[in-house]
Chains A and B, each alone.
Chain A
Amino acid sequence: MSLNDRIARGLESGWKVTDGATLTANHTAEADVVIVGTGAGGGTTAEILAKRGLSVILVEEGRLYYQKDFKMDELTSYANLYQEGMSRVTKDGAIAILQGRCVGGSTTVNWTSSFRTPDATLNYWGRQFGLEDLSPDAMAPWFAGREERHSMSPWDMAPNINNDILRQGCEKLGFSWQIIPRNVKGCWNLGYCGVGCPTNAKQGALLTTIPGALDHQTHMYHGLRADRLVMNQDRIESLQATAMASDGITPTSVQVTLKARHFVVAASAIGSPGLLLRSRLPDPYERVGKRSFIHPVNASVAKMPKLVDPFYGAPQSVYSDEFNFSSGVDGDVGYKLEVPPLHPAMSAGVVPGHGDAQVKNMASLPWMQSVIALLRDGFHADSPGGTVSLRDDGSPVLDYPVTDYLWQGLRRAFYTMAEIQFAAGAQRVRLMHLDSDWYSSWADAKAAIDALPMELHRVRLFTAHQMGGCGMGSDPKQSVVNSFGEHHHVSNLNIHDASIFPTSIGANPQLSVYALAARNSTRLAQRLRT
């Protein structure tokens, strides 16, 4: 195995990789640039800077897992690869937060859908936040570059049945649908992207930019949690970090001090604002943590007459944007329609219930199909997003109030999803809501949705796309960084991750993160080399 696996080979060849759990004494290291986070943003930044000859230290709180560890098992993967062992939720517990915590970040566990930032979103940013330099034309080459780097192209195998049912339903109802571009190379069409791709087909940060950076002398620490950026006068002087034990969660007493000329924070939404807040960096207009977005997701499941086997096959290959921008960019909230993979633990966590009713729900898994709606939050005054703050122990938590504006969208999405599933031949449909039954006709489902209370906890809500909290903009009173990810108040700090989006994206965000990080790292490299 070590011969074929990029990571195993690299480690053998002498990559500088330090596992925090092996450190026994405090220590200090120094480089041109210290980067916090090894996901979409951090990996891209590290590779670009290292290839330009800058010395780079990469810091990752999670651990290094790679092919040898990816055994298509949900329980181990959720425990090891996800934030808070997959138990991360919003402050009131009402929204489940799926987010990666390992080398490669969320890209190690994401579902490989690869969309450019919609033009409407970029144009809106230009108008609302003074980000005219991120126009679709200006960004196009950056998207193209990253599409190539991560082998992104429209999925050319047949969609699995789970996805095809979304296509069929849309066809029947005259809704638009499209094939999803994926970042894969030689994909085996297995369907385990969410638990770490076992074949190395997925071209996330773990198999692209991280090896690229390590090949160029980057020193990566994993199992090392960034605690605080320490300022001296008006510049950051060092990063204080704590080594974690080999379980990945128990902090040890070993402290690591990392010094650099420049610091790049890429700990993502929730993580990056958390680090800035802990560090008490200048924030005169109290913008850090504000306007955090999540693409709130609600879901519907259907029992189909024929086998779906929703656990097999590329997890996402069909989407519909019929309702995403149909009320304009800033009208009633829009939503993108997609499909989630359904493995047993995931399904048991998503479908609420207990007792014999749940036994029946679970027994029907092979015939189960699911549609999800991802709401485009942040484009309206009534969708100001959530706020990241610190818990007593200093860890970040997201408070995300669901406004009436969003509830209306969630209710509309329930109608749409149920209608699509019945149009595609569903025998029964159940909304992911504590009060929903299984309905056997579209008319029954429709009447039920009319009456469903749209309330926290009763409506089951999810997010796999955390954005914002260190928003970019031209006005320091309204934002944390400028369009290059440069901090408004600290001259040697950049932020290169999903936390800088001033609204949500309106599409799965990884390509938006990759492209912006590539653009801003290229600029940063020029700055640091002169």
Chain B
Amino acid sequence: MSNLLPRHENQDAASLNRRSFLRTGLGGALFLGTVSVTASLSGCATAPADRLGAVETRMDASYRFRFLTADDIDLFEALLPAILGSALPAQPNARRMAIAGTVERIDAGIHQFGPANQKELRQLFDLLNFGLTRITIARVWSPWPQVSTEQANGFLERWRSSGIGLFNNGYMALTKISNVAFYGYQENWHLSGYPGPPDWAVQALPQFRTS
């Protein structure tokens, strides 16, 4: 769909690509080569969640997910409390809304990343969602919906301090996507003491006039 190359040069590109994150990053660990394939066979959600997966958890059921699967959403719902810490509101309803909104903005952001980086992220998320690799590589024993904030934090710390560059990279990818989507959002600007664009300029500029 997005190919710039003539058709014949592209045979098997998709299947090769799905493994490249694992291959290039983790070389020797042979069994990993089949993760994505196995993951899709064993019922890991591989289609964008659209609206359906969102309905139970989301406040805004009108958002249509374009990249994140139901499993990815579980993953971020488990990770965000550890990534955002006390920046998330304590009040349960507000907290759920803040997490839901952040997950949606993560999805919207990833959509704009374009196909190549989406593939990389798909591999990372598959690796984290697929039971076998979640346990062996992330060393997270329970499925994400059962993971506590302490356990999620433990996972983040392990990947952050690991001597393996690939894990550091995974740590950066997960935290950066989340932090940018959260702190960059207007409603959270106050958490970084940012008052927003100067009022006088907003008043004076034509693009902010509503009529």
Residues of A within 8 A of B (CB): 1, 4-5, 67-75, 78-80, 84-85, 87-89, 92-94, 188, 190, 192, 198-199, 225, 227-228, 242, 247-251, 278, 311-312, 343-345, 347-349, 352-359, 362-366, 390-395, 397, 434, 455-458
Contacts and interface: CB of A to CB of B under 8 A. Distances in A.
27 contacts: A4-B206, A67-B206, A72-B196, A73-B186, A80-B112, A87-B110, A87-B113, A88-B117, A198-B205, A242-B4, A247-B111, A251-B2, A344-B184, A344-B189, A344-B192, A354-B82, A354-B153, A354-B160, A354-B179, A358-B83, A358-B84, A358-B179, A364-B193, A391-B17, A391-B116, A393-B5, A394-B5
Contacts of A94: 165, 169
Given A344-B183, A347-B183, A395-B116, A356 B86 contact: yes
Interface stretch (B35-43, B51-59, B139-147, B170-178): B170-178
Given A75-B181, A278-B5, A362-B191, A393 B175 contact: no
B87 A249 contact: no
Given A198-B201, A344-B188, A345-B184, A359 B207 contact: no
A79 B153 contact: no
Contacts of A1: 206-207, 209
B180 interface: yes
A247 B64 CA distance: 15
Contact of A74 (B120, B168, B184): B184
A457 B168 contact: yes
Nearest to B66: A247
Given A68-B207, A75-B181, A365-B192, A85 B115 contact: no
Chain B contact residues, majority secondary structure:
helix
A225 B3 CA distance: 11
Interface in B144-159: 153, 156
Contacts of B175: 352-354, 358
Q: Which of A69, A74, A228 has the most CB of B within 10 A?
A: A74
Give me the 8 closest cross-chain CB pairs, A-B, nearest first: A345-B184, A394-B4, A85-B112, A1-B206, A392-B13, A457-B168, A348-B179, A72-B197
Contacts of B31: none
Given A71-B208, A72-B197, A343-B194, A393 B168 contact: no
B30 interface: no
A184 to B, nearest CB: 15
B192 A434 contact: no
A190 B192 contact: no
B194 A393 contact: no
A394 B115 CA distance: 11
Contacts of A70: 207
A123 to B, nearest CB: 38
Interface string B52-88: 0000000000000000000000000000001111110
B182 interface: yes
B89 interface: no
Contacts of A347: 183, 192
Nearest to A240: B4
A365 B194 contact: yes
Contacts of B192: 344, 347-348, 362-363, 365-366
Contacts of B45: none
B116 A349 contact: no
A345 B82 contact: no
Given A79-B112, A198-B207, A349-B179, A355 B83 contact: yes
A238 to B, nearest CB: 15
A192 B201 CA distance: 11
B193 A366 contact: yes
Contacts of B83: 354-355, 358
A22 B189 CA distance: 36
Q: Which of B3, B112, B165, B208 has the most CB of A within 10 A?
A: B112
Contacts of B191: 344, 359, 362-363
Contact of A393 (B2, B84, B161): B2
Given A94-B169, A348-B183, A457-B168, A188 B201 contact: yes
Contacts of B86: 356, 359
B201 A85 contact: no
Contacts of A75: 105, 109, 180-181, 184-185
A249 B4 contact: no
Nearest to A310: B194
Contacts of A71: 197, 207-208
Contacts of B189: 344
A208 B190 CA distance: 37
| Residue among B16, B165, B172 with max Cβ neighbours from chain A (10 Å) | B172
B26 interface: no
Contacts of A397: 116
B3 A456 contact: no
Contacts of B14: 392
B92 interface: no
A227 to B, nearest CB: 5
B205 to A, nearest CB: 6
Contacts of A348: 176, 179-180, 182-184, 192
Interface string B92-112: 000000000000010011111
B10 interface: yes
Given A362-B183, A434-B160, A352 B116 contact: no
Nearest to A87: B113
Contacts of A458: 168
A1 to B, nearest CB: 3
Given A74-B184, A85-B113, A92-B165, 13 more contacts: A69-B207, A87-B113, A88-B117, A247-B111, A249-B112, A344-B184, A352-B175, A355-B85, A359-B86, A392-B17, A395-B4, A397-B116, A457-B168
A217 to B, nearest CB: 28
Given A4-B206, A355-B85, A390 B5 contact: yes
Contact of A311 (B1, B13, B160, B194): B194
Q: Name which of A4, A84, A354, A364 has the most chain B CB atoms within 10 A of its CB.
A: A354
A251 B85 CA distance: 39
Contacts of A228: 4
B114 interface: yes
Q: Pick the most buried of A345, A395, A434: most chain B CB atoms within 10 A of its CB.
A: A345
